């Protein structure tokens, strides 16, 4: 996380349904929401997505670095 040009060693976790997490990702990326947001970002059950902050001269923007990672799950438990 960035604040006033300094890097903080902090993480925020969002644990929710795919539709809610899709809306959070959309908001952080500055994308206009759609009525069926979970169809834009298809997230598997118990998957991990990562959004990282990038410093700008006048603030922060975000980059999607991982979407619906399921490597931590056995193949028999993956839904995507």
Residue 25 and residue 66: Cα distance in Å, rounded?
Answer: 11
Residue 2, burial from CB neighbour count under 10 angstroms (0-12, 13-18, 19+): middle
Candidates 6, 19, 21; CA nearest to 53 is 6
Neighbours of 30 (CB within 10 A): 8
Delimit the domains of the chain by residue range: 2-77
pLDDT given at position 12: 81
pLDDT given at position 8: 52
- Give the residue ranges of the chain where pLDDT is below 70: 1-9
Cite the DSSP H helix spans in the chain.
18-29
């Amino acid at each position: 996380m960035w604040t006033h040009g300094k890097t903080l060693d902090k993480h925020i976790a969002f644990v929710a349904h795919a539709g809610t997490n899709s809306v959070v990702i959309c908001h952080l990326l500055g994308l206009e929401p759609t009525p069926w947001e979970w169809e834009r970002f298809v997230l598997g059950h118990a998957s991990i997505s990562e959004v990282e902050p990038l410093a700008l001269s006048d603030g922060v923007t975000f980059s999607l670095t991982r979407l619906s990672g399921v490597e931590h799950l056995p193949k028999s438990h993956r839904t995507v």
